[in-house]
A and B are shown apart, each in its own frame.
Chain A
């Protein structure tokens, strides 16, 4: 079945570093992908919608200059956390919807980001 691959699965880095997370659709094309953030013991919060060939759409309260999204091809979206600080430490998960929109989403395995 369709699979979404997310890389890396775990990142530990120093404060001030920029971190890039990749989300790939492996056997289907995804013109739209979604990025979620999950803090410990909390639910997933939608951060932004990644649109192939155009600008991402950010949810209210999400800083677009902080979380840069690039969707340069039909199979790859990247999320870059710029100048990361400890409060950005979280679990980031991407997803890609099925063609029809009334099918289950395909989720990546997530990236655990820890900023020291």
Chain B
């Protein structure tokens, strides 16, 4: 069975500072990895995904994530955050049966 752990429930950061949101997963089979973002009072939107190939994945709004198979991690990074990045971020894995497993979410709070 798959599971996803997001180690930080909340991450406060000042505007223009770098940020890393951590995600670890456990799986006995190959998986595909995703980051979704949820802005206040909205549904989830896809930020980026890792399917295969290059372990560094670039997404929308300047975010990127690196797949590390040996550490079973898929951490999300942004070199300089904006106020508009304030949102909740969810890491997810999906297996070959198209079942998605989500982490508990990390609330990113960008302060001016």
Tell whether A and B belong to one assembly.
no
